[in-house]
Amino acid sequence: MTYPVLVESTPDRGYVATALGMPDCAYAAATEQEAISGVRAALAERLSRGKLVQVELPGADDPWARWVGRFAADPTWDEFQALMAADRESLDRELAHE
C-alpha cells in the first residue's frame, strides 16, 4: 500500500513528515529520512487499528464523467494524441538538457 506523505523542512533545519488527511499522524526528526521512517511507523500503527475504505457520496457526480467518449467519433483524435505525445517528448528532452 502507498500513502501520500507531506515532508516539510522546519526553521531549525529539521523535518516534519505528515500523513495527508491525518494531521495527528506526523513525525519530526533531524533528517528527512528519519521523519519519513517515523511517520511510516506511526501510520502503520494507526492503520493496524482500522482500515481505509472508499465510499460513494450520493449526488456527487464525477466531474470528468461528462467528457468520457466525447471524441470517440472524431477522426482526428488519434492524430491529436500523437502530436501531444511528440510535444511532451520534445519538452522532456529540452528539460533534460537544462
- How many domains in the chain? 2
Question: Is 55 among the domain residues?
Answer: no
Report which of 27, 37, 20 is spatially closest to residue 10, judged by C-alpha positions.
Answer: 27
Residues of the domain holding 74: 65-96
| pTM exceeding 0.75 | no
Give tens-digit pLDDT for 11-67: 999 999 999 999 899 999 999 999 999 999 999 999 999 988 988 877 767 778 778
Residue 59 falls in which region: left (phi positive, over 0), alpha (psi -120 to 50) or beta: left
User: Quick one: 12 and 39 in the same domain?
Assistant: yes
Residue 74 included in any domain: yes
